[in-house]
Amino acid sequence: MSDPFFFTSPVGLTLGRIIEATGARAADGVDLERMVTGVQPLDRGGPGDLVFLDNAKYAKDLARTRATACLVSPKHAAEAPAGVVALVTPQPYHAFARVLALMFPAAVRPQSLFGAVGVAPGAVVHPTARLEENVIVDPLALVGPGAEIGSGTVICAGAVVGPSVRIGRDCAIGANASIQHALIGNRVIVHPGARIGQDGFGFAMGPTGHLKVPQIGRVIIQDDVEIGANTAIDRGANRDTVIGEGTKIDNLVMIAHNVVIGRHCVIVGQVGISGSTTLEDFVVLAGQAGLVGHVTIGMGAQVGAQAGVMNDVAPGARVLGSPARPGRQFFREVATLEKLAAKGDGHGDAGRQEDGRGG
């Protein structure tokens, strides 16, 4: 069996082109026409490869690399071995991402899984749907009545675009994703299996049963948003669910009805956000954080992994634990518990008595 590499034939770049794209600096006299033809981790770099050092933890690997060039911060630039061109930049990882996008453009967003051009055989596009030029629709994808899709967008195999949905230009809708009751901006990436615009979880509960509340809002997704695989974003109940410009959402995230998420937020895997909660701009929610409904997370706030947020969080605050509280308070409480546990004399005596070995 062959061993395929799924992103083949990278585009080779000269050092000069890399410097132009990243703003990095190289020492005087470096041959700017020297070619980079691949990328590797720092410890595996060889001739022709570009590597990067962004975390001081891996600085020891820099001295051993045989790569052609290394994107590196100023404090580590002098540690590059002879023969390795140090491309100095304050943000090596950001610079590496820019180079990857140039060398492997097919990896930037999902592509047609069928190599399709235009509407492939086996796709179903309703006659009243409107597709601009250069839209790709894979086999088994469905585009409903009145839907509109902008130029350069790809709808991958098995995806469903519901009636009257609007999708902007240069978007990618991954395999088996479903989109309904939604307006989507430009350059949005929706990964496979995501569910956007389905019913919110709304019931009028009572002692004789729970009455379903029709969900009549929409989902609004602004430009440059990325939504991970198997993430669910419910449409609004009586207003819109909104995802702000540039926000990045990981896999397996649940966003309930009427939630409003600001610009450039980062939401990590398995987060759950209850209905009518608001995230202001640049909020970070770490993995498995859970937020109750009707709270506001202030601009730039950070919520730690597995935190349980039950009240508003102030702008710029960092909270941890469940219930979530300020980081310093959380760590003081942990330290206090550790000190109490370390005393342990009485607990040890009680344990001996309980198992019959007491004196």
Q: State yes or no: is 294 an active-site residue.
A: no
Tokens, residue 235: 């449409």
Q: In 3D, which of 230, 242, 316 has the Cα closest to residue 276?
A: 242
Are 208 and 187 contacting, i.e. CB atoms less than 8 angstroms apart? no
- Which listed residue (181, 257, 264, 347) is catalytic? 257
Nearest to 167 by CA among 105, 121, 240, 223: 223
CA distances from 219 to 137, 175, 340 (A): 22, 20, 50
Between helix 15-22 and helix 92-103 the angle, nearest 10°, is 120
**Which residues are tagged catalytic?**
257
